[in-house]
A and B are shown apart, each in its own frame.
Chain A
């Protein structure tokens, strides 16, 4: 009896090892973005914009998952041209990316928020003679998706959004919502506001907007962790989008690229002449109102969340690439510089819109290109 049981267990465990092994292998395969060279589905890069120079070797990067899709598309186009370079971007999150960068494990990091002073100090150990700097590379509108049967083109402003996510407005037929949507037939349904359960740059930017545009209604200090009490939560932007899709009365925030498969998004009443839709162009317009707050070569941006400009969608996230201004590692530097030059180029930025990201406005992008040219 024992023997047979052992054999079965052994067979089972062998099977389990085989299956999990296969899964692990395929997982590696899909991560290794350099493997699938010149297939045609990626953004069509003109050969002219990619200059390989003496770039070669393996480039490790880590960071924000918000820009993962953009990086993936760029890597595909870039490595099709420069076959000697392998780029491996792990979208483990901004915090993990910055940690990996300050420990010298990666050539560059992706982050949704600019380096903090203590992180800059830590980066000086890695960048001999220099420090880590932020290069704004990808913009992304954060859409507010909702699921209210029978209501299209919902308009909300910062005040009502803050009150909804703080639990002060609890039904869809609330007077404050009705006032902004005089034509809509609002149901009595209970509002189910979903927020991120993990810490996230998206939460950080969304709450920064609420705080800046309606300080009286959003009294929390902000940060990557959600602070308001009540409401429901889910893991990741995809988790939130899923909840909005399957729960009647739900409202939540996520990057525009997740607002697909029939998820409707809120138009913002910012005080401009007409409510602003969450689109790539409107996000770029809002980013162009940002001011540069970084010193020296650092190009950290401060967005103007309270903008009233026509067609500027203020709930926008800017994600950065973080590199050393001086003292990049000699063996990966040519590849890093060549790759960054490509993604900041016109072609690189133009390919973003198709993926649901916003290109960086040209006046800021010019500075980014100058900075990349001066890296050493």
Chain B
């Protein structure tokens, strides 16, 4: 397949627009097939809006039933005791933990994923690249609870050495100060999440890099650019918006990850300046941990926290779309 795009690159993009033009032009005198298809696709689009609206309405309704009874401040209280009368609960710690662990995951996963994608598309021999791509795809198929078990039983015990190294050299920053506790912290969660979101970012980036116009690359090579310069000048600018949308897909997974976080993190309702001290929690982890023993009122409180996660996700996705829209001139890939 790749070879064919290499040899006949220019005519390929000319093909797709024709059917689109046809449907638009022939809207007046449609055949039943067109009308049925139009109805089906329009229905699907509307269904999506209805589903999103239903989720939002449900979350808002259930959340509104408990928020007025809250004895603490929903946004700033460092406590979750929603089954008590009166209930006391706040999402400050959860929002902090969710965002910090996702940011750590992104900071680790995005460079690695872009590196893997570039290696597969531009450096590796075809067979090796294919094998690596296949293994990365397999990572996506591992259930999150399996990651959780691996994280709790293997990763966490092996992190102690890394933690004491961080403490020795970067302890003075305050962020990497370690008290010597079990390393079940937001940093461990971030590392685990990074591994979990790696496949999706790699996968999409790989497809985008592969579509980088061959003419640009050959032109750069003809001017005497090295392979790295070709990548820097023609592949990365072309793929940037695709990498951003890939990262946002990964971020979405990191924000909502539940069981792996619940198994690895040592949650508590406090915020530590140090990433190496246990504490914190995430929205999804807290819902999983508290749901089974929650009363009606406790469940509503958890749903209220779910509403906040829902809003954060919407904001993140909106921001991503805005960034991609600004870079539209580079390509239409995945934008």
Contacts and interface: CB of A to CB of B under 8 A. Distances in A.
A binds B: yes
Contacts of B292: 92-93, 95-96, 198-199
A199 B82 CA distance: 11
Contacts of B83: 199, 223-225
A229 interface: yes
B293 A199 contact: yes
A20 B152 CA distance: 22
A100 to B, nearest CB: 11
A1 B2 contact: yes
Interface in B231-270: 262-263, 265-268, 270
Interface string A229-241: 1111111000100
A243 B179 CA distance: 17
Interface stretch (A11-19, A305-313, A316-324): A11-19
Contacts of A230: 268, 270
A12 B184 contact: no
Interface string B176-188: 0001111010000
B1 A247 contact: no
Nearest to A195: B268
Contacts of A19: 141
A1 B293 contact: no
A183 interface: no
Contacts of B84: 223
A234 B266 contact: yes
Contacts of B288: 198
Contacts of A95: 292-295
Interface in B73-94: 80-81, 83-84
Interface string A343-370: 0000000000000000000000000000
B80 A225 contact: yes
Contacts of B278: 232-233
A140 to B, nearest CB: 17
B152 A229 contact: no
Contact of B267 (A20, A23, A197): A197
A105 interface: no
B181 A192 contact: yes
B137 interface: yes
A326 interface: no
B153 interface: yes
A46 interface: no
A1 B1 contact: yes
A242 interface: yes
A44 interface: no
A205 to B, nearest CB: 13
A224 B152 contact: no
B64 interface: no
A138 interface: no
A136 B56 CA distance: 43
B294 A199 contact: yes
B289 interface: yes
Contact of B293 (A96, A194, A242): A96
Contacts of B153: 242, 246
B266 A197 contact: yes
B152 A239 contact: yes
Given A19-B141, A96-B292, A198-B292, A235 B262 contact: yes
Nearest to A91: B292
Given A12-B141, A95-B293, A5 B207 contact: yes
Given A93-B292, A93-B293, A233 B152 contact: no
A190 interface: yes
A250 interface: yes
A273 interface: no
A91 to B, nearest CB: 9
Contacts of A5: 207
B290 interface: yes
A4 B262 CA distance: 38
Nearest to A65: B292
A104 to B, nearest CB: 16
Nearest to B4: A1
Contact of B289 (A94, A227, A235): A235
Given A96-B292, A232-B184, 15 more contacts: A1-B5, A93-B293, A95-B294, A190-B179, A192-B182, A197-B289, A199-B289, A199-B293, A199-B294, A223-B84, A225-B81, A233-B267, A234-B266, A235-B262, A243-B182
20 contacts: A1-B5, A1-B210, A4-B1, A5-B207, A20-B143, A95-B295, A96-B293, A99-B296, A197-B266, A198-B290, A199-B83, A199-B289, A199-B294, A200-B293, A223-B83, A223-B84, A232-B181, A242-B152, A242-B153, A243-B182
